[in-house]
Amino acid sequence: MLRLSLLASLCYSAWAVCPSGFELVRNGECHRQLYDGQTTYAPNGALQAIDFCNDYGAIPVNIVNQEDHDYWVSVSRKDKKNGNQYGNIILGIYCDNTNHWMWADGREVYYEWKPEDYDEDLHERCGENGQYCMWTINPTTNNWQKWCNTYQTTDNYCLILPTSKPEEPDRDCTNFDHDDDNDVCYQVGKYPANWTEANTICHSFGANVASIHNDLENSFIRRLSVSKGLINGMLLGGSLNAKKNAYKWADGTKWDYDNFAPGFPLNGFGECVAMETNNVGGQWINVDCTTELPFACIRAPDDSDPVCDGSVKKENDIIYNPGFPSDASIPCDFMLKVDPGMLVEVEILMLEANSCCDRLVLSEGTLGGQEIAILTGELYDGWTFRTTSQNVMRASWQPKGGVNVKGMMITFLHSSPSSRLTRSSRPRAEWSLLLLLRSLSTLPHLLASTTLGVMGPQLLLHCIVALNCLQTGWELFLIYRQRRKHESTVKRPAGVESIISEEDYTKARSYSIDRLSFKVFRMVIECALMITMLYSGYYHYLWTTATSTWAPLSVFLILHNLVSFLLDLPLSLYENFVIEELHGFNKYTGSFYIVDAIKKLVLSTAITIPLASGAVWLIENGGDLFFIYLWVFISIVILLAMTIYPAYIAPLFDQYSPLPDGDLKKSIEELAAKLEYPLKKIFVVDGSTRSGHSNAYLFGFWKNKQIVLYDTLLSGEEKRKVYEALGKKVDEDKEEKEGKKKDDDKGMGVEEVVAVVGHELGHWALSHTVRQLGVAELNILLTLFCFSHFYTNETLGAAFGFTGGAPTVISLLVVMQYVMGVYNEIFGLISVSLTRRMEFEADAFAASLGLGSKLTTALIRLSKDNLSVPVNDSLYSLCRHTHPPVTERIEALKKKQ
């Protein structure tokens, strides 16, 4: 992590540190856009802007020279070009009580710099003849514009100008203070360190812990300590030699002076030397070398100008730009090299750069390598970046002026490609500067020192991939258990004779083994695709492609959906036209399937784009509680979907026909009336055009309840009756010609179908739908709450190839799909358990209506028609079967009858 507490007193004498909400932009100025596109009345807009900015200790836009003017004109034009802003930026000019135009910082406009083509009204007295005005930068004319007694749509920026620049330190003491009397360069580390740490810190700056050779130097060190408020002692550079018989100075100078207090050094008190700064004489005592005390670094003057030396740096070196911290204008490249086979992990100790102009570029290798990160602005978080394959990283400080900022300071070490950082060789003070910097500037980040940012982008990516692979491994383990159970149970087991025949058992077992085998194949392929996508920078590439278009979000979603569709298509085709076809369930033709798939792709994309756009807007504009607003938004969408889908979307794919009058309709209506179920319609769906699997469900809100039956649920005879009543006819000759098996031996009679409907009505009567919706809503809220703590993490963005954080839509995809995988698995197990319980309750409800025996035969028929094996691995069934095995359901029904 970080080290060097000494550096704090140097770094945080900064003049350009911006408060929260402000960005370091140019010339050490901190900017914040307070609002955009606000309609204001002149001159109120200027006065309000001054008041608003004053709340932050800031002023509106302040222009003192041509460079300022050109810069704010460019901002104005950029705002207007973006389309969501108007570009009329309010200037901090107002009319004072003497009727003179004044800047918000107290300067009179007339006597200060003005643009060449300025409005002559700036010469005139203001506020006369009832004319009260404000001034803005007009993006159309690229000049100042006066608005009087009118409404105008404006943007407002607030500025915090740099305070007086610190005195330029003596060139011969760059980064250090100069004591003229003793002609030494010194810097005091007021935060405690032990003797080893203190020497490591001072060596990083070409200095040593203070050595003392006469009374004058002793007095100087003591006065220096007291002037910094260090009255409880200070470490010196002295310690016992290897033979333990004499003291020596760490800088190698002769031990020719001492000032030990009477009775010191004492045996057993320690081998290092410290000064008692609370007494006038500055006497010394011996202390344990692990004692943590403040210290001073001292070195001889060096009158050379700061230059970029271009040397290859060693691990643990503190690396800063030439002239740091007083001059950041000198560009410099640093080569950070570790042992072959290792990766370079660099840590940002501090970066202070104007975001308009200056930057630190980290690249893989020496020259022409892939960029790892481009950094600017202010960073004090100890961010880490790592090479992906090489043992050399190039750190390039590229200022374009470097005005009123200090520049950059970094350190680095080696890291194993397959493990976390190797730190055993580093002193304990490694992390002390991180603690110091954060305590002084961004204290809340102390709690985040063990989060994603500390982990580093590459390691974080490895962890995400590993977690998803483990999740795949868990699923494969469950499938292996289920497949092994079915393979080992060759013959129909005892106790299920009444449920399935030997012949049907053999068919069901074969179907299950084939499906499980294909599922293994699919999961391995999907895991390989996931690894390839994450390590190849798929999301970054797709987003980069999308950003070159007029609608990046929409284009990204279209491309992502299209890629997902094309990757899944071969697997889906094999599943339908090989596995399902082999066992008699596939009813698709090739052309029908492709048209169906394309319709689903187009429809899903058309729905996803506006929903994703709304979600992204809420995330980016909802503040800290955006997850609450997004939860409400998603909840509304779910309720609308539950209403709209059956009535408007599902009919795009399947034909919904009203169930004609007859025994089946009459029996269902009588059952609904008995339960006071507000039934409006009963539909039959031609599910047999796609699959041989059967289903039934309820939908609708309040008094508009409806029931849907798949035609595959009906026996061949009953289905013919229904279709004949609807004016349709089952073409048996065509089925024979196409080689498809007739459905006469499948499906249920009227009483069994009514029993199934009774089970579904049990879910309604027992409020299962409401309970499931409540569980789903809780899950969504918890998921969004977790997402709110991840999505802005810049290390997470860097792991997927994005510097400065990933775009919101990609964060949404990545966090939900990859980061939340373990949570989703755990919640899924809870959901399966609740659903299984509800199925038993609905069965019991149907039995209480006197439908138990018919529901039993219906379950047997469903099991036979869908080729369900009545034998299951207990763990697989517990984790994956939302509906309990038919044997358990029948056993439970027997107890209710």
Q: How far apart are CA 54 and CA 48, in angstroms?
A: 10
Q: What percent of the chain has pLDDT over 70?
A: 83
Q: How confident is the model at residue 181 (pLDDT cuts 50, 70, 90)?
A: low
For residue 358, the Cα-to-chain-centroid distance in whole angstroms is 26
Report yes or no: 369 and 363 within 8 Å, Cβ to Cβ.
Answer: yes
Q: Walk across the sheet containing 371-375 and list its strands.
A: 312-313, 332-337, 392-398, 359-364, 371-375
By the 8 A CB rule, do 684 and 709 touch? yes
Q: What pLDDT score does 111 carry?
A: 54
**Apex 787 CA angle, 786 and 793, nearest 5:** 110
Residue 627 structure tokens: 């997850």
Is residue 179 among the annotated active site residues? no
Residue 290 predicted with pLDDT over 80? yes
**Is residue 392 a contact partner of residue 336, using CB atoms and an 8 Å limit?**
yes
Q: Are residues 284 and 326 in the same domain?
A: no
Q: How far, in Å, CA of 611 to CA of 263, rounded?
A: 80
**Three-state DSSP state, 139:** coil
Q: What is the pLDDT of residue 513?
A: 94
Bond into 19 cis (ω within 30) = no
Both 440 and 355 in one domain: the answer is yes
Q: Which two tokens stand for residue 490?
A: 């060759």
Which of the four pLDDT bands, split at 50, 70 and 90, describes residue 618?
A: very high
Q: Which amino acid appears at position 657 of this protein?
A: S
**The pLDDT value given to residue 166:** 43
- Give domain status of residue 572, yes or no: no
Q: Which residues contact 526 (CB under 8 A, 6 or more apart)?
A: 472
Residue 690 lies in a domain: yes
H or E element: which one contains 784? helix 768-788
- Catalytic annotation on 661? no
Q: Which residues pair with 334 in a beta bridge?
A: 395
Catalytic residue among 29, 155, 217, 760: 760
Output the CA angle 129-134-140, nearest 5 degrees. Answer: 120
Element (H, E) at 682: strand 679-685
Percentage above 90 pLDDT, the chain: 25
Indicate if the pLDDT at residue 636 is higher than 90. yes
Sorted by sequence, the CB contacts under 8 Å of residue 400 that are 6+ apart come out as: 354, 357, 358
Q: Which domain-ending residue is among 450, 478, 510?
A: 450
> What was the pLDDT predicted at 79?
65
Asked if residue 615 belongs to a domain, the reply is: no
List 580, 843, 873, 888, catalytic entry: 843
Residue 177 has pLDDT above 80, yes or no: no
How far apart are alpha carbons 653 and 156 in whole angstroms?
Answer: 52
Among 409, 430, 450, identify where a domain stops: 450
- Looking at 450, 483, 518, the residue that finishes a domain is 450
pLDDT tens, position by position, 410-453: 888 888 775 443 333 333 333 333 333 333 333 233 233 334 44
pLDDT score at 445: 31
Mean pLDDT of all residues in 144-171: 70
Sign of torsion, CA 453 458 461 462?
negative
Distance CA 482, CA 874 (A): 8
pLDDT exceeds 70 at position 24 = yes
Q: Which of 781, 772, 786, 765 is nearest to 833 (CA)?
A: 772
Give the CATH number of the domain where residue 673 resides. 3.30.2010.10
Identify residue 88 by its one-letter amino acid code. N
Regarding whether 280 and 327 lie in a shared domain, the answer is no
Q: Binning pLDDT at 50, 70 and 90, where does residue 507 land?
A: very high
Residues 728 and 682 occupy one common structural domain? yes
- The residue type found at 67 is E
Question: In this predicted model, which residue has the larger pLDDT, 720 or 302?
Answer: 720
Binning pLDDT at 50, 70 and 90, where does residue 172 land?
Answer: low
Residue pair 427/411 in contact (Cβ under 8 Å)? The answer is no
> Is the per-residue pLDDT at 734 higher than 60?
no
Q: Is residue 530 part of a domain?
A: no
Identify whether 190 is part of a domain. yes
Give me the mean pLDDT over the 169-178 stretch: 57
Q: Which residues are annotated as a binding site for Zn(2+)?
A: 759, 763, 839
Tell me if 42 sits within 8 A of 149, measured CB to CB: yes
pLDDT tens-place string over residues 469-490: 999 999 999 999 999 999 999 9
User: What was the pLDDT predicted at 205?
Assistant: 66
Q: 0.85 cut: is pTM over it?
A: no
| Radius of gyration, alpha carbons of the chain | 38
Q: How far apart are the first and last CA of the chain?
A: 69
Note the pLDDT tens digit of each residue in 661-703: 888 899 999 999 999 999 988 988 887 777 777 788 888 777 7
**Predicted local distance difference test score (pLDDT) of residue 613:** 93
pLDDT score, position 259: 92
**Is residue 115 helix, strand or coil?**
coil
Helices (H) and strands (E) in the chain, counts: 25, 31
The verdict on 319 and 445 lying in the same domain is yes
446 shares a domain with 320: yes
Identify the pLDDT of residue 178.
67
Does 561 score more than 80 pLDDT?
A: yes
CA gap 157, 89 in Å, rounded: 7
Tokens of 129: 């003849």
333 and 270 assigned to the same domain? no
pLDDT for res 614: 93
Asked whether residue 326 falls in the same domain as residue 445, the answer is yes
pLDDT exceeds 60 at position 826? yes
Asked whether residue 256 is assigned to any structural domain, the reply reads yes
pLDDT digits (tens, 9 = 90+) for 90-112: 888 888 877 878 888 777 775 55
Any idea what the CATH number is for the domain that residue 119 is in? 3.10.100.10
**Binding-site residue positions:** 759, 763, 839
> Do 294 and 334 reside in the same domain of the chain?
no
Here the CATH number for the domain that contains residue 382 is 2.60.120.290
| Domains in the chain, number | 4
> For 112, phi and psi rounded to 5 degrees?
-105, 180
Residues paired with 351 in a beta bridge: 379, 408
- Answer whether residue 886 shows pLDDT above 60: yes
Residue 185 and residue 56 share a domain: no
Do 201 and 134 share a structural domain? Answer: no
pLDDT at 435: 31
Say if CB 162 and CB 16 are below 8 A apart: yes
- Which tokens hold the place of 121? 């009204």
Q: What is the mean pLDDT of the chain?
A: 80
For the stretch 386-398, pLDDT in tens is 888 888 899 999 9
State which residues form the domain around 92.
29-160
Task: Report CA-CA distances (Å) from 776 to 213, 612, 780.
Answer: 75, 19, 6
Q: Do 134 and 248 have their domain in common?
A: no
Residue 321, pLDDT score: 85
Angstrom distance (rounded) from CA 421 to CA 687: 57
When comparing pLDDT for 560 and 736, which is higher? Answer: 560
- The closest of 678, 697, 676 to 687, measured between CA atoms, is 697
pLDDT at residue 16 is higher than 60: no
Q: Provide, for the chain, the percentages of residues in helix, strand and coil under a 3-state DSSP scheme, each rounded to the nearest 5.
A: 45, 20, 35
Instruction: State the pLDDT at residue 402.
Output: 78
Q: Quote the pLDDT of residue 633.
A: 95
**Three-class SS state of 716:** helix
Residue 223 pLDDT: 84
In a domain, 360, yes or no: yes
Asked if 777 and 633 touch (Cβ cutoff 8 Å), the reply is no
Residue with tokens 């599922």: 519
